[in-house]
A = this chain, B = another copy of it.
Amino acid sequence: MSIKARIHVRLKPGVLDPQGKAIGNALHALGFRDVGEVRQGKLIEIELGESDPERAREAAERMCKELLANPVIENYAIELC
């Protein structure tokens, strides 16, 4: 059966994250006083149509490099499930 990739795309540390910042402020405004840093990233879930874990991971890697993450500002992490 086909393997699914769960990909996390995160802004690199140091790249400012206006969305995360806005969420942080909103949480404080809602009374969550202790909240520290908030970062927002992307969750991309893909049906790989591939049953071999090796090839599945390798394909997901290429997808991230070629399209899903922008190496200038983003890191990515791949989980297969």
Report the contact-size class of chain A (Cβ under 8 Å from the partner). 35 or more
Is A46 close to B, CB under 8 A? yes
Task: Mark A40-56 against chain B: 1 for CB-CB distance below 8 A, else 0.
Answer: 11111111111000000
Is B47 in contact with A36, judged by CB distance below 8 angstroms? yes
Give the number of copies in the complex: 2
Inter-chain CA distance A64–B24, complex, in Å, is: 13
Is B47 in contact with A35, judged by CB distance below 8 angstroms? yes
Which residue of B32, B39, B44 is within 8 Å of A63 (Cβ)? Answer: B32
Is A78 close to B, CB under 8 A? no
Which residues of B have CB within 8 Å of A62?
32
Is A23 close to B, CB under 8 A? yes
Which residues of B have CB within 8 Å of A67?
23, 26-27, 30
